[in-house]
Structure 1
Amino acid sequence: MFFPLQIALLVVLWIEAVVGIIINAFIVAVIVFWWIHSGKVKTIDFILACLGLSRLTLIIVFVIVPWIPVNVEIILATSMFVTFCSLWFATKLCFFYCMKICNYCSCILVFLESNVFKMIFWTLFTSITPSLICTLPFNWIVFIKITNNTSDGSINVNRKLFILYFSGTSLPFFIFCVAVSLLIRSLWKHTRHLTRNNPGFNKAQLRAHVFAVKGMVSFLVIYIIFFISSNLKFEPSMSNNTTVQPVLSIIICSYPTVHSVILVLVNRKMKKALCCFLCCLREDISSESN
């Protein structure tokens, strides 16, 4: 690859990583502060904290750790585990929103909605199990790839890695897409119903509902892009492409960054906490400059 382009892509990747680390650390820190201050934590905040922590770890392992002399098997296995965990936590977050917002006449949804608070901590725990199941074979497969120097052996190993990664990401991706689709449909129908039948439905309320719909659509689009890009990164014909791999890395790193930024913006409490933090930071900078 052309050297200046390589440097430019690396700079973009590091900027994404820094922003992602800051925003996810902010999410975790705010929820921990609320937890300490109130003595309890809401279910949705607990899921957000788990999601933020997994994404924070993912960005550090994906971008920073490879620059440190560490065993390749450990890096890859850790990266895969936190990737699967973050996908499951994002799916559970969307599933939680779906259960609380959607109003579908389904016995299954009614049962899940009535038991969601009892089940959520258990389902968070069970999210770690499929992540471990899909991660453990990575050590063995990567070890074979390192010890096998033949081109045919390398292709077979790359194919196994692709199948394993695709298997680990497909189920949470499918559940996420279904939950987001239900959410978008429910929010859109609710917005149309209010605008037609409620004369007192003001423009501010309409903007809030439309903003929520746009947020859900952005979640779905970002997840789809991440799913395709991350699987392409392990696709045998792409795994050794030095031109495509840096671009895929940038796209993959953008998911835990951009998605977390949107989560903060669509969450009223998080957005307020962010504004307070920025105001305090601006005042400190102004006082130091004076």
Structure 2
Amino acid sequence: MLVLKVFICEVIGCVEVLVGLVVNTFILVTNLKDWWTSRKLKPYDQIMVNLGLSRVCLLSCFFFRITNRVFKLELYSSPAQRSVFRAAQLLFDFSSLWFAMWLCFLYFVKITIFKNHFLLRVKLRIPQLVPPAIIITYAVAFIFGFILAFFIKETADIMDNNNLPANKSVYKELSYMIPSYVFGHFLPFIFASISTSLLIHAISGHVRHVKNNVTGFTRPRLDAHLSLIRSAVLLEFMTVCNLLATFIFQFDFYGHFETNVSFLFLVSYPLFHSLAIISGNAKLKRALWGVVGCVKGKVAVERFPITQQIETKRQTTAQQK
């Protein structure tokens, strides 16, 4: 029964990783296509490109680890190899969370009307602030990912089939894990939650104001505002689930919780969070429907000759009769 449960979790995790790779590659390619056309990217799109890239790399690491575990390849058996691979995975993990936080902040700044002089100056200087923010994000992710990967000799990790011995002291590991967890996961979660809360508050206040004072506020416009609020709440819910799953996955040293389930939450977050981003982005939705239309058109063209042959055969049979 235990083997079956592990096998089901691995299959579900592999499917989530593969679909997540497709979704995040779509986000990355769509924005790079715009850059190739116009030779420039808006600040929002710059963050989106780096978010898609970091998640594609992160999901590739997950897929590599699942494959390594299922087929028992032992591709990174030495401690040095495990540390290097873990540092790369943490770099992509931390950076993807920070870029998701920057997206929340940029969206809040973009649609909110500020009266505060400082916030207004920040809004006007976003094109100059985004490149340093990207560099700082990668630097923070690399530093704390490196610390967590190389200064901890042994960790409890379901993907490495590794649980700590019952008598193993974890105080030294915690002295490195807690700062890495705070800067890699907790701080971007806090900043993203604050930005999301302020965004929901601003949209709700705007809806109440226009409903009471503007007679031309139509139902479609109200639905658009409510859809934005639902998307923000959904993104925040997924961020909370990812934070809790990461906490269990990293700090459950002795396997008290079901780590296979927490791993499924970890690999599902880059997929469903990116899908929510696509659903709330007009450019990505247009590109997605364009791809769907091309696929449908190609399928219809491929099926047309077969349909035509069947119809010709029917006509020939009818004439013979």
- Shorter-chain TM-score above 0.5: yes
- Secondary structure at 2:170's aligned position in 1? helix
What amino acid is the match of 1:11? V
**Alpha carbons of 1:15 and 1:126: their partners in 2 closer, same or farther (altered >3 Å)?**
same
Structure 2 unmatched ranges of 5 or more = 69-74, 157-163, 307-321
The 1-side partners of 2:261 and 2:173 are apart by 19
Distance 1:184 1:60, change over 3 A: same
Note closer, same or farther for the CA distance 1:5–1:145 as it changes in structure 2 (3 Å cut): closer
1:212-242 per-position Cα deviation (integer Å, ceiling 9, x unaligned)? 111111111111111111011111xx23428
Residues 230, 248 of structure 1: 8 Å contact kept: yes
Distance 1:143 1:91, change over 3 A: same
For residues 139 and 9 of structure 1, the distance between their equivalents in structure 2, rounded to whole angstroms, comes to 25
**Contact 1:162-1:231 at 8 Å conserved across structures:** no
Q: Is the aligned partner of 1:245 residue 2:259?
A: yes
Distance in structure 1 (CA, Å) of the matches to 2:243 and 2:33: 33
CA distance in 2, matches of 1:165, 1:126: 15
What percent of counterpart residues are identical? 24
Equivalent positions of 1:266-277 (< 5 A) are 266-277=280-291
Q: CA deviation at 1:286?
A: 3.0
Partner of 2:201: 185
Aligned-pair CA distance for 1:247: 0.3
Give the match for residue 20 of structure 1.
Answer: 20
In structure 2, relative to structure 1, the CA distance for the partners of 1:162 and 1:137 (3 Å cut) is closer
Preserved contact between residue 10 and residue 66 of structure 2 (Cα < 8 Å): no
Structure ID, larger Rg: 2
Amino acid at match of 1:134: F
Shift of residue 197, structure 1, vs aligned partner:
1.8
Contact kept, 8 Å, 1:173 with 1:227, in 2: the verdict is: yes
1:159 aligns with 2:159: no
Corresponding position of 1:75: 85
Q: Which amino acid aligns with 2:129?
A: M
TM-aligned CA deviation for residue 125 of structure 1: 1.1
Report the 3-state secondary structure (helix = DSSP H, G, I; strand = E; otherwise coil) of the residue aligned with 1:143: coil
User: Does the CA contact (< 8 Å) of 1:85 and 1:128 recur in 2?
Assistant: yes
The answer on 1:264 being equivalent to 2:278 is yes
Cα distance in 1 between the residues matched to 2:216 and 2:122: 33
Using the TM superposition, name which of 153-162 and 264-273 deviates more. 153-162
Contact kept, 8 Å, 2:19 with 2:271, in 1: the verdict is: yes
Secondary structure, counterpart of 2:272 in structure 1: helix
- CA shift, 1:153, in A, is 4.0
* Contact 1:145 1:154 (C-alpha < 8 Å) held by counterparts: no
Q: What CA distance in whole angstroms lies between the structure 2 residues aligned with 1:118 and 1:158?
A: 39
Structure 2 residue aligned with 1:103: 113
Alignment of 1:144-155 (within 5 A): 151-153=166-168, 155=170
Rounded to whole Å, the distance in 1 between the matches of 2:128 and 2:99 is: 17
1:45 maps to a residue whose letter is D
1:229 correspondence with 2:245: yes
- CA distance 1:109–1:280, change in 2 (3 Å): same
Return the alpha-carbon distance in structure 1 between the equivalents of residues 280 and 236 of structure 2: 15
Aligned residues: 286
The answer (yes or no) to whether the contact 1:55–1:86 under 8 Å persists in 2 is yes
- The gaps in structure 1 that reach 5 residues or longer are none
> What is the rounded CA distance, in whole Å, between the counterparts of 1:284 and 1:241 in structure 2?
50
Matches within 5 A, 1:33-182: 33-65=33-65, 67-68=67-68, 69-70=75-76, 71-143=81-153, 151-153=166-168, 155-156=170-171, 158-160=173-175, 162-168=177-183, 169-182=185-198
Counterpart CA distance in 1 for 2:244 and 2:181 is 10
Q: 1:140 Cα deviation (Å)?
A: 2.4
Q: CA deviation at 1:171?
A: 1.5
Conserved? CA contact 2:84–2:149, under 8 Å: yes
- Of 211-220 and 187-196, more deviation after overlay is shown by 187-196
Contact 2:17–2:62 (Cα < 8 Å) also in 1: no
Distance of 2:36 and 2:150 partners within structure 1 = 42
Looking at structure 2, the residues matched to 219 and 228 of structure 1 have their Cα atoms a distance apart, in angstroms, of 14
* Contact 2:14–2:66, Cα closer than 8 Å, also in 1: no
Contact 1:77/1:136 (<8 A) preserved: yes
TM-score (norm 2): 0.83
**Quick check: 76-85 or 159-168, which moved more?**
159-168
> Which amino acid is 1:44 matched to?
Y
Change (3 A) 1:126 1:243: closer
Q: TM-score, normalised by structure 1?
A: 0.91
